[in-house]
Structure 1
Amino acid sequence: MTRPHEIEGDRRTDRPTLARRLSIRLFAITALAVMGAEIFIFVPSIANFRREWLETKLETVSVATLVSEFGENGVPLTPEQETELLRALDARLIAIRKPDSTRLLARVADLGTVDEQIDLPAEGMFEAVAAAFETLVWGGDRLLRLVGPIGDGSFAGEIVIDERPLRAAMLVYSRTILLLSLAIASFAGALVFGAISLFLLRPIRRMTGAMVRFAADPEDPARVIVPSRRQDELGLAERELADMQAILARTLREQRHLADLGLAVSKINHDLRNILASAQLVSDRLSDLPDAQVQRFAPVLIRSLDRALVYTQSVLAYGQAAESRPVRRRILLARLVDEIFEMQLVAPERRIELVNAVPPALEIDVDPEQFFRALSNLVRNAIQAVEGDDEAEALVRRVRVEAQAQADGGVRIAVDDTGPGLSDGARANLFKAFRGSTRAGGTGLGLAIAAEIVQAHGSRIRLCDTTRTGARFEIDLPGNSGAPAISPP
């Protein structure tokens, strides 16, 4: 099996290519977003540039109007002056439109056919945008007639021009806008790139490196990430990661200790089984002695040794998998409880009352040996709970086992005591081995074993909350085979 430290180097070198890095992608997305916004700005701005350029051309007609006035006073423009005027205005025809007449100021001899007439006051926004892109994309060779108000608006000017200067000016303007947009997009992308790298990617890389280092040796507490003091989402993620790594490291150490404990128990179990076998032979010989006291206690001793041998043979079953499948038999529950009480070594001076309140004729369908273990663990825990409280002589120390048939054909078995009850820590880890102990110094294995046996029988075990002192555990045996479950306290 591959160990974590064997793949650490591969993880560190498995970095995304430049094109797949998040920072590069964010830079490209930001730049494209800015360029897209600039396009929306460019569309109306190029139409406005065209309009302003054409209006400037119309304003030059005002100059020609002054020349026209001099012509009316007897100083007409010579052909050479008309040519110079048209060259200065870069036009082919200049005319003035009054309400009652139109006067031609200057024109070239080879005017040609006008391709398009532009009336600026009547041109809307959408028409201006369409005309601007038409000139920008397909224009350049057309002849335009431009008509619009000039001066104070009392008369209009008319001018015929080539489209090529207009298109050239629009291309220069578009190139300027493009270069400016690229500069803005690059700056915005670089700003986002730096911010993302500093505030997002660097902490993510730090957490990734911490995960890789932790995976190489999860049990080393020095490899748990040290959270920063950030109060944002990444700071919260670092703190949660640190908590998770600490819990995982502690859990792995506990699992390793449990594995070591299982190996030690296996070794002890091997030798203990041989010792118990020898003790069983001695107890068999003791049972042949005629002494009355020996004859009284010998059967109890023999049964105890027999069960101890069975337990040693099934110790590994709990650590490796689960209890063996129950071999069900019909038994009298009251007699089973009596046998459990006989096995409890309770000193008379402890004044602990063991009460068997099970109806004598009540039968249950369970595995006798397994259910003996389950109830024995519950009873032993109850006895230990009332034994530990020995401050006052007037205290009632009672362990009671009762059972009642249910309407659905099942049986409810209860084991309760008059002890101090369970602590919050025991309730939070109930039925968990080495965590759910009900007393100081306990292992919690008794409840874990009882819960596993009850589950194997398709039954439910739970801790009941009562208004009385002490603890009460209930086992619900179904009338027929049911799904195993453990109810929380």
Structure 2
Amino acid sequence: MKKRSGAGSQAIALPAAAAGFGELRLHAGTPQVTAETAAATSPKPPRHLGLSGKLLAFTLAFVLLAEVLILVPAVAAFRLNWLSDRLAGARTAALVLDAAPDGMISPQLTQELLRSVGAITVALKRDDTRRLLASTDMPPEVDHHADVRDVGPWQAVSEAFDTLLARDGRVIRAVGTPPRGDGFVEIVIDETPLRKAMLRFTGNLLLVSLVIAALTGALVYLGLAWMFVRPMRRLTQRMVAFRADPSHPVPEVETDGRMDEIGQAERELTAMQQQIAETLQQKSHLAALGLAVSKINHDLRNLLASVQLISDRLADIRDPAVQRFAPKLEVALDRAIAYCEHTLAYGKAQEPAPERRMVPLAPLVAEVRDTLGLGPDEAQGIGFVESVDRELEVDADPDQLFRVLLNLCRNAVEALSARSPNEPSRDQIRITGRREGAIVIIEVADTGPGVPERARAHLFEAFQGSARRGGTGLGLAIAAELMHAHGGDIQLVPGTIGATFQLRVPDRPVDLEAHRALRQHG
């Protein structure tokens, strides 16, 4: 018993480690965002074009491209039609001039026919002869040739630009199909009227096209801005506001019943923000709890040291009752001191790795019963039934497995105490254990009201799985964490009276073989 005083001294020598636990408030707490911080970290308005400006620029670019694709072929077609009209008039004049006997058409009528066609000369080629039907006194020299009988699209466009860029007074020779038979009809004309007509047509078409394009572009821009830019701006504002204050409650946002990608993005953003806000709130709760635990541990270690000194003196008393309870008090103090050491040393809500060994299960269950005061000599009105084989051993850390069983049994006691006064025949806690191959299965059951349906979804999550009013849900969360550290699991067995929790603790293959070998040679 004297060696316990040394443990007490070791517990007293830990005040410097308490500072480590205070760091949990900084790491797990919600980040404090001040107005200055939010203003400094919030995104600045972009100096370049925003989404609306880019949309407008793209709309204008595509509208202008459409204008070019429409305007250029239209101007080329206008030129060909203009020449074709002149050639059609020339064909009519050629029929008249060709049918009339020589000398029957006066020079004045010939000039009238040329003016009606707008030509300087009209000639007709038939078979191998080329005949000049009408001409001015001094035909000018031809500067350019144009054949409208077979013109490709690219040639029509290039010749249209050539006409628009030509000088005034240029003379061209145009060739078309004859009135009948083979050959061709040709005219020599001044290109200036054609060029002026093309410029007027281009200006009118460009004006009409720009008006139509402006209206179309405005409608397209407004439609896209309403359908896409406006909700994207709303999403951006929500993200910026949430970044500035993530702990602020997330309001419900109307998505206008949209089922497209924008509506899905708004719904997913709302769900994500709510989940992050809940997580930050939980972390803030954990940080506050961690700070409180660090303060409690700071004062509790001194109290435990004093109680340990008293327990050392109690061990010297020869009273049988004192000798019976002193070892249990000693073990409980050792566990309490160990918990404080782990908490102060790690400074975080993480359990140390289990120190596993083969442990008899029955004495551990009996220790849980005595710790809860449910022994045969106690009068709490709650029955405790043990159904564990004395030979059953489990490969586990005894202290951690004790904590798991103690948490489950304490929850059962609280559930059964709610219908006080209790009767041992009705209100019972039952612990059973059995081995199935390399797995030990332990079941902790009670005859209480069971676990409410609302608590089952988050049963093993801290601060969310409590089944009673005012509970924290830490007991089941700690039990689940310790079981997972052993490579096992814990689950609620459905369809039972009250609540039944099943623990599965697998053996370590290597350690199990070594243990069996030691037992065989022992």
Q: TM-score, normalised by structure 2?
A: 0.75
* Residue aligning to 1:55: 84
Alignment partner, residue 6 of structure 2: none
Aligned to 1:339: 367
Amino acid at match of 1:231: G
The answer on 1:426 being equivalent to 2:455 is: yes
Determine the C-alpha separation between the residues in 2 that align with 1:119 and 1:45: 16
SS in 2 for 1:314: helix
Which whole-Å CA distance do the structure 2 matches of 1:185 and 1:4 have between them? 50
Question: Which residue in 2 is equivalent to 1:398?
Answer: 429
Asked if 1:158 corresponds to 2:220, the answer is no
Residue 250 of structure 1, CA deviation: 4.3
Letter in 1 for 2:157: F
In the alignment, is the contact (CA less than 8 A) between 1:227 and 1:242 conserved in 2?
yes
Structure 1 CA distance, aligned partners of 2:146 and 2:356? 105
What amino acid does structure 1 have at the position aligned with 2:311? S
Deviation, 1:369, is: 2.0
**Counterpart residue identity of residue 483, structure 2:** V
Q: Which has the higher contact order (CA 8 A, sep 6+)?
A: 2
Residue 54 of structure 2 is aligned to residue 25 of structure 1: yes
Question: Which residue of the partner structure matches residue 352 of structure 2?
Answer: 324
Q: 1:443 to 1:305 in 2, by over 3 A?
A: same
**Quick check: 159-168 or 22-31, which moved more?**
159-168
- Residue aligned with 2:472, SS: coil
Match of 1:280 among 295, 303, 308: 308
Distance verdict in 2 for CA 1:452–1:226, change over 3 Å: closer
**Residues 391 and 157 (structure 1 numbering): CA distance in 2 closer, same or farther, change over 3 Å?**
farther
Q: Report the 3-state secondary structure (helix = DSSP H, G, I; strand = E; otherwise coil) of the residue aligned with 1:350.
A: coil
Cα distance change, pair 210–466 in 1 and its aligned pair in 2 (3 A): closer
Matches within 5 A, 1:375-394: 375-388=405-418
Aligned match for 2:469, one of 440, 450, 455: 440
Cα gap change, 1:439 to 1:262, in 2 (>3 Å):
same
Is 1:287–1:294's contact at 8 Å kept on the other side of the alignment?
Answer: yes
Equivalents in 2 of 1:6, 1:192: separation in Å?
41
Q: 2:46 maps to what in 1?
A: 16
Q: How has the CA–CA distance of structure 1 residues 478 and 328 changed in structure 2, closer, same or farther, with 3 Å as cutoff?
A: closer
1:457-486 CA distances to partner (integer Å, 9 max, x unpaired)?
3x121314443333222223242499xxxx
User: Cα deviations across residues 242-287 of structure 1 (Å, max 9, x unaligned)?
Assistant: 5544444444344323322222222222222322332333333334
Alignment partner, residue 487 of structure 1: none
| Contact 1:5 1:217 survives alignment (8 Å) | no
- For structure 2, list consecutive stretches of 5 or more residues without a partner in the other structure: 1-30, 512-522
Matches within 5 A, 1:39-438: 39-42=68-71, 44-61=73-90, 64=93, 68=97, 72=101, 75-78=104-107, 81-83=109-111, 85-95=113-123, 104-108=132-136, 109-110=138-139, 116=145, 118=147, 120=149, 123=150, 127-138=151-162, 143-148=172-177, 158-162=185-189, 164-165=191-192, 166-167=194-195, 169-221=197-249, 224-225=250-251, 227-228=253-254, 230-232=256-258, 234=262, 237-238=265-266, 240-316=268-344, 320-346=348-374, 347-357=378-388, 359-388=389-418, 395=426, 397-406=428-437, 409-438=438-467
Does structure 1 conserve the Cα–Cα contact (< 8 Å) formed by 2:433 and 2:443? yes
* 1:361 positional shift: 2.8
SS in 2 for 1:320: coil
Q: What amino acid is aligned across from residue 91 of structure 1 in structure 2?
A: A
- 2:485 counterpart residue number: 456
CA distance in 2, matches of 1:377, 1:474: 13
- SS of the equivalent of 2:191 reads helix
**Number of aligned residue pairs:** 467
CA contact (8 A) 2:76 2:160 kept: no
Deviation at 1:371, TM superposition (A): 2.5
Q: Which TM-score applies when normalising by structure 1?
A: 0.79
Q: Which moved more, 1:129-138 or 1:3-12?
A: 3-12
Distance in 2 (CA, whole Å) between partners of 1:44 and 1:260 is 76
Please state whether the residue corresponding to 2:105 is helix, strand or coil: coil
What's the offset of the Cα at 1:129?
A: 1.6
Per-residue deviation at 1:77?
2.1
- The superposition leaves residues 291-334 of structure 1 with CA deviations (integer Å, 9 ceiling, x where unpaired) of 33333333323322332232333345686141123333332233
- For 1:2 and 1:311, the matched residues in 2 are separated by 31
Q: 2:109 & 2:40 partners in 1: Cα distance?
A: 85
For residues 153 and 501 of structure 2, the distance between their equivalents in structure 1, rounded to whole angstroms, comes to: 85
Mapped partners of 2:489, 2:337: distance in 1: 27
How far apart, in 2, do the equivalents of 1:318 and 1:450 lie?
A: 19
1:349 and 1:410 mapped to 2: Cα distance? 34
Partner of 1:5: 35
The amino acid across from 1:52 in the alignment is: N
Question: In the aligned structure 2, how far is the partner of 1:27 from the partner of 1:463?
Answer: 60
CA distance in 2, matches of 1:201, 1:174: 36
Deviation of 1:51 (Å)? 3.2
1:162-192 CA distance string (max 9 Å, x none): 4734455445534544454444444433333
CA gap of 1:177–1:71, structure 2 versus 1, over 3 A, is: same
Letter in 1 for 2:393: E
* Shift in Å, 1:418: 3.8
Q: CA deviation at 1:402?
A: 0.8
